[in-house]
Amino acid sequence: MHALDIRPLTPTIGAVVHDLDLGRLDEATFEALHEAWMRHLVLFFRDQHLTPEQHLAFGRRLGPLHIHPAAPFAHGNPALMVIHTDAGSHRNNGDNWHTDVSADEEPPLGTILHLHTLPSGGGDTLFANMYAAFETLSPRMQDFLCTLTARHESNYDGHYGDHPAQREYPSAVHPVVRTHPVTGRNALFVNPAFTTRIVELSQGESDALLRHLYAHASHPRFQCRFSWTANAVALWDDRCTWHLAIWDYWPQTRSGLRVTVQGDRPYFDAASRREHEAGCEDRVAPTSTARPG
Ligand code: SIN
């Protein structure tokens, strides 16, 4: 067992794990790392010289691998998604707040991104804690959201140039609040990239509520920001986070590989709400009235 050196980026989300080789993890270290992941939601590792096979093998330790509906892949393996933006790109993958492929009936549980080529500055990724976003809403709003479901839809037309789609673009209805199958905590599970409509509301009501939730959930106090270095890895939990890749480095290149792990069908467990309610209050500051500083 390798003692983990874990340094939180913020008290709310994100931690850097130092001096660990992801390509050589014994079972006890893997278990400890998994616990740390559940606590911090996103883990970062620098200087990882993972081969594609080691990257895939690390993903498989978390679960079966997910195949993206449309993105290009490397080494002839659809589970090795290419993340690449350069001077010729017309868009940057993931530059809107999202949870990976939430339009799948069984969306990913987590994602492992390994970047090998970075611009001289910029190209950071933001992550946001969706447990905290849910827990800081008023109890009445929480109660209401727990009764709702939302449609998530994908349309990747034109996103990946002429790369042919791997499968039909998915669409699914998920609970607006999902219970995490490992931690039992509840997280807001709607996002600006994929959620098109709250099913039980009129379109106008749905738009207004989603606008409110997105403004609330994208507050910086729920976020951390990771500045990449060559060969760094990020491991994020798609069941309780959003992320956004910042494209501020054109015309430079940012490039790497992503392995995504298949999750299960999102559900909301009302009993988990009562169990976790009391413990949540001391983890995040109460909502304050924003005033210009
Ligand atoms: C993604 O959404 O998978 C891309 C994240 C990034 O490039 O930082």
Query: In the structure, which protein residues have their CB atom closer than 6 angstroms to any atom of ligand 1?
Result: 83, 93-94, 113, 125, 243, 245, 258
Give me the pLDDT at residue 283, please.
54
Q: Whose CA is nearest to atom 4 of ligand 1?
A: 94
Nearest to 57 by CA among 25, 81, 83: 25
Query: What's the confidence (pLDDT) of residue 184?
Result: 97
Whole-number pLDDT of residue 178: 98
Q: Give the pLDDT confidence of 25-61 residue by residue, as tens digits.
A: 999 999 999 999 999 999 999 999 999 999 999 999 9
Q: Of 196, 177, 138, which is closest to residue 273 (Cα–Cα)?
A: 177
Pocket perturbation via mutation, ligand 1, pick of 92, 98, 113 by most ligand atoms within 8 A of CB: 113
**What is the structure's pLDDT at 284?**
54
Instruction: Assess whether 100 carries a catalytic annotation.
Output: yes
Please tell me the predicted confidence (pLDDT) of residue 161: 81
pLDDT, one tens digit per residue, over 189-236 is 999 999 999 999 999 999 999 999 999 999 999 999 999 999 999 999
Nearest CA to ligand 1 atom 2: 94
Three-class secondary structure assignment of the chain? CCCCEEEECCCCCCEEEECCCCCCCCHHHHHHHHHHHHHHCEEEECCCCCCHHHHHHHHHHHCCECCCCCCCEECCEEEEEEEEECCCCCCCCCCCCECCCCCCCCCEEEEEEEEEECCCCCCCEEEEEHHHHHHCCCHHHHHHHCCCEEEEECCCCCCCCCCCCCCCCCEEEEECEEECCCCCCEEECCCCCCEEEECCCCHHHHHHHHHHHHHHHCCHHHEEEECCCCCEEEEEECCCEEEEECCCCCCCCEEEEEEEEECCCCCCCHHHHHHHHHHHCCCCCCCCCCCCC
Confidence of residue 76 (pLDDT cuts 50, 70, 90): very high
- Residue appearing with tokens 């993340």: 83
pLDDT of residue 158: 82
| Active-site hit among 55, 98, 114, 174 | 98
pLDDT at 224: 98
| Cα 20 from Cα 2, distance rounded (Å) | 8
Smallest CA-to-CA distance from 109 within 169, 55, 27, 182 is with: 182
pTM: 0.94
Question: Active site includes 49?
Answer: no
Query: Is 157 a residue of the active site?
Result: no
Query: Is 152 in the active site?
Result: no
- Give the pLDDT confidence of 232-288 residue by residue, as tens digits: 999 999 999 999 999 999 999 999 999 999 999 999 999 987 666 655 544 555 555
Cβ distance 42 to 234 under 8 Å?
yes
Encode pLDDT of 115-173 as tens digits. 999 999 999 999 999 999 999 999 999 999 999 999 999 988 888 887 888 888 999 99
Q: How do strand 42-45 and strand 15-18 relate by DSSP bridges?
A: parallel
